[in-house]
Every structure is written in structure tokens, then in C-alpha cells.
Amino acid sequence: MLNSGSRIWPIATNTVREAVRHRLLYTLLFFAVTMIGFSVLIASLSYVEGERIIQDVGLASIRLFSVGIAIFVGIGLIHGEVERRTIYTILAKPVTRSEFLLGKFLGLLLTVWLQLCLMAIAFVAVSVLVGAGLDLGYVAAMLLVGVELMVIVAVATLFSSFTTPMLAAFFTLGIYALGHLSRDLYSLGQASDVPAVKQAATLLYRALPDLESFNLSTQAVHGVAISGAEVGWASLYGVAYSIALLILASFIFHRRDLE
């Protein structure tokens, strides 16, 4: 296990180095920070609840651009290595395909968490500047954005392990949308009189990532109490879902013909 860790870590750090050279990362980060700053202008159009609007827009920008970075940087993870043929050099060493995949996943996750921290700093700075309140609820919300990003990176890793970047982006975006719709799909299914539809809706709800469980932005902005259990269970769920996805990705990647 220790040996495995020592093999995964260099791949992860290398992936971070590679990702931070990605121009797209900076472009999206720039837009995110600009949007957070721009929220002050947007809020000035309202004569009430301006601080709430600033924080709504700020948190939405963080979530939107973080997911954008996770997807569009993540989809090329494996494909780039195969195209540059560097994957053969790595796999020629005593590194298993699972370790390679895990290293790539961790590297990208660290990158998106790093940019999440930068966006959070911008968010806090703007909130402090306009005198908007900040409490532990925001920490909880931000923490769960991080967990949601972990799940999205795992989804991107899964798709990039067997398909082209274009298709991987398409599939990951689809899973992201369905992940936010899964609760509504479930409710719709349960309202049906047809048992098969109910079962299918339940199955979909169980299989798709329940991404709404990581969305505490509104509660944080409105000062609604967020329990530690809520954050804890959602985090555990996110970790478990990501592990399941990585096992599946590893299984597929082991069988993939890289020639």
C-alpha cells in the first residue's frame, strides 16, 4: 500500500504541474474571479438584499467555473498521455494501470481544489468588502462544492479512461445535468401509476450521483442552520461514489487496448 502510494504521488504531482500549464484553467479562473467581482455591479441593480445577491452570484460562479475546469481539463487526462505516448514510458515502470489512473485522478482533484481555494479567497474578499456576513455555513457549502468536484473529476476520469475527449466532455456534462435532476426524476417516477416507471426512476436515482446533496449554497446565504451530520453524510456519500467510479474506471482501463 505504501509502495503504491509512492508510485501514485509522483503521477499526481506531475498531473498538477501539467494541469497548471493548461491555458483553459486560467481562462476559466479569470472568468470566475471576474464574475465574483462583477456580482457587486449586478447587486447594485436591486434596492434590497444586495449582499445576498452578491453571495448568490459568487457561489454560483464558483460552482459553475469549478465544474467547467474539472470537466474540460479532466477529459484530456488519459488521451493526452496516449497521444504523446508518455503513457508507455510510465506503464513500462512498475506502475499498474490502476495506480496510473488514481494518480491522474488525484492530480486533477488537487488542481481543481487549488483553484477552488483561489475562488473562495476572491469570494471572501468581495464579501468582506461589501460587509456581507460570513459564517461556518459558507465553509460547509464550500466543503461540499469540493466534494461535488471530486465526484465530477471521478466521472471525467471514468469517461476519459475509454473514450475520446470530446465524448468524455459530452458524457460528463450529461452526468452533471442528470446528477442535479436525479431528485426530480425520482419524484416524477414515484408520481407515476406504472410500477415499471417507478422502479426505473428509483434505479436511476440510485445509480446517478445525487449532486443536489452537495448544494448548500442557498442555505449558507440565507443563514439556514446546516447540521454537521448533513455535511458528514454528504461527504461520505461523495467519497464512496467517487471510489466506486474509480474502481469501474480502473476495471475498464485494465482491459483497454492502448496500442
Partner 1 sequence: MVWLAAAVLAVLATDALHTRLPPSGGASRQMGFVPDPDLAKVLSLGFGAVLADFYWLQAIQAAGGDVRITPELGDHLGRLIDLVTTLNPRVDHPYRFAAIWMTASEQNVRTANRLLARGIEYHPDEWRNYFYLGFNHFFYLLENDRAAEWLDRASRLPGAPRYLPRLAARLKSESAEIEVAAVFLQEMLNTSQDDVAKEGYRAALDEIEVEQSARLLDGARARFQDRNGRDLRTVEELVAGESAVLRTLPAAEPLALPSALRRGSTWVLDPVSDRIVSTYYGKRYRLHVGESDRQRAEGWAEERRIRERVQGMEGSRGETRHEPSNHDR
Q: What's the CA gap between 175 and 38, in Å, rounded?
A: 29
In whole angstroms, the minimum distance from the beta carbon of 44 to partner 1 comes to 10
> What is the residue-wise DSSP string for 87-128?
HHHHHHSS--HHHHHHHHHHHHHHHHHHHHHHHHHHHHHHHH
Compose the 64-83 pattern: x for residues touching partner 1 by CB under 8 A, - for all others: x-------------------
In whole angstroms, the minimum distance from the beta carbon of 180 to partner 1 comes to 4
In whole angstroms, the minimum distance from the beta carbon of 222 to partner 1 comes to 4
Report yes or no: 161 and 78 within 8 Å, Cβ to Cβ.
Answer: yes
Applying the rule CB under 8 A, the residues between 13 and 72 that interact with partner 1 are: 42, 45-49, 52-53, 56-57, 59-60, 63-64
Closer by beta carbon to partner 1, 109 or else 141: 141
Compose the 198-227 pattern: x for residues touching partner 1 by CB under 8 A, - for all others: -------------xx--x-xx--xx-x---
Name residue, grid cell 407515476: 192
Report yes or no: 107 and 12 within 8 Å, Cβ to Cβ.
Answer: yes
**From candidates 95, 143, 181, 197, binder to partner 1 by CB under 8 A:** 181
Maximal C-alpha separation, the chain: 64
Q: What's the CA gap between 56 and 152, in Å, rounded?
A: 22
Binding site for partner 1 (CB under 8 A): 42, 45-49, 52-53, 56-57, 59-60, 63-64, 176-177, 180-181, 184, 211-212, 215, 217-218, 221-222, 224
